[in-house]
Amino acid sequence: MNLNRKQFTTLALAALALGTIGSAGAQGAYPTKTVTMVVPTAAGGTTDLSARMLAQALAPVLGQSVVVDNKGGGNGNIAASIVKRAEADGYTLLMQYSGYHVISPHLTKVAQWAQSDFQPVANVISAPQIIVVRADLPVKTLPDLIAYAKANPGKLNYASSGNGSLQHVTGAMLEQQGGIRMVHVPYKGTGPALQDLLGGQVDLTFGTAPPFMPHIAAGKLRVLAVTGKQRLPSLPDVPTTAEAGYPKVDATSWFAVFAPAAVPKAVVDKLTADIRTVVQNAAFQQKAQEQGATADYQAPAQLGDKVKADLANWASVVKSSKIEAE
């Protein structure tokens, strides 16, 4: 078929228009396949639990399966790098832990990702740390722990989910405020740290309540204090660090969804709206509270502001605690 220049131009413009319409329709149809939520920790910690709670509740709202993919290690760098390099179509997301997002950047010698590689989608869960010891450690309160540590300098060891994690920084804060010295033992996530605490290989740890609750209820672990400003409804008899005499030991974690920076705004808008529906649901909120956490939806702009503020705040804490970069 022979076409003159005018006919060719007309057909080309029509094809381009159809392609544009098709592309917009494809974006509007999001999602059309399984969404993967990459988690920067091993299974068993609050980041993992938050991701699984969200994935289970979000799937029927999105109308597609949401799978959790644990990629622990490297202070969150492994998971962040995977999501950073993923196709920017909204099908690969990061369920991020605040310690990795706003503390680890101050401790990494060679940056593997930047804040600009991601865009905030929604905050899902917020939770204070709790101070947990093995059941046979001869202490029952936070002042008891400080006294024991002073009487046995360097004997106590505490587990964290990695160098620069919020658990690590909380431990350093407690050492600083209590005038004590402990040995830091980093793990690749809260799950492995919890297992060694239960096994007696470490003496104590700091972490958000959800993964510890069953073991606390069973009497296998003892909680000394909550590092937030208020007691937890799920642990009403446990005092805050302020009530125990250490108000400057104050640390709260958040767990939020981020997407690669180039994901289209329409996709992010869809995701954050659906996550809001899930997180503001009474059943989801009740489940979070039972685990010692708070269902805490925050929109992209609010989450972005939180990231900026926490980056600045934790930079000063890391510096004053003299935590070394890896």
Predicted confidence at residue 46, as pLDDT, reads 87
What's the whole-number mean pLDDT along residues 150-165? 89
Predicted confidence at residue 9, as pLDDT, reads 42
Mean pLDDT of the chain: 88
- Dig out the tokens for 72 from the structure: 């622990």
- Dig out the tokens for 123 from the structure: 């905050």
Q: Which residue has the tokens 């917020």?
A: 126
- Return the number of other C-beta atoms located less than 10 Å from residue 157's C-beta: 16
- Between 219 and 21, residue with greater pLDDT: 219
- Between 189 and 265, residue with greater pLDDT: 265
Residues 6+ apart with CB under 8 A from 25: none
Predicted confidence at residue 92, as pLDDT, reads 98
308 pLDDT above the threshold of 70: yes
- Between 159 and 74, residue with greater pLDDT: 159
Given a contact cutoff of 8 angstroms between Cβ atoms, the answer to whether 59 and 51 are in contact is no
Q: How far apart are CA 240 and CA 252, in angstroms?
A: 12
Given a contact cutoff of 8 angstroms between Cβ atoms, the answer to whether 123 and 297 are in contact is yes
Q: Is the pTM of this model over 0.85?
A: no
248 pLDDT above the threshold of 70: yes
Predicted confidence at residue 150, as pLDDT, reads 97
Given a contact cutoff of 8 angstroms between Cβ atoms, the answer to whether 154 and 238 are in contact is no
What is the per-residue pLDDT across 176-198, written as a single tens digit (0 to 9) for each? 899 999 999 998 778 899 999 99
Given a contact cutoff of 8 angstroms between Cβ atoms, the answer to whether 166 and 129 are in contact is yes
Shortest CA distance to 303 belongs to which of 130, 94, 68, 60? 94
The backbone torsions φ and ψ at residue 273, rounded to the nearest 5 degrees and listed phi first, read -65, -40
307 pLDDT above the threshold of 60: yes
What's the whole-number mean pLDDT along residues 162-180? 88
Q: How far apart are CA 219 and CA 206, in angstroms?
A: 17
60 pLDDT above the threshold of 90: yes
Predicted confidence at residue 313, as pLDDT, reads 83
Supply the DSSP symbol for 324.
P
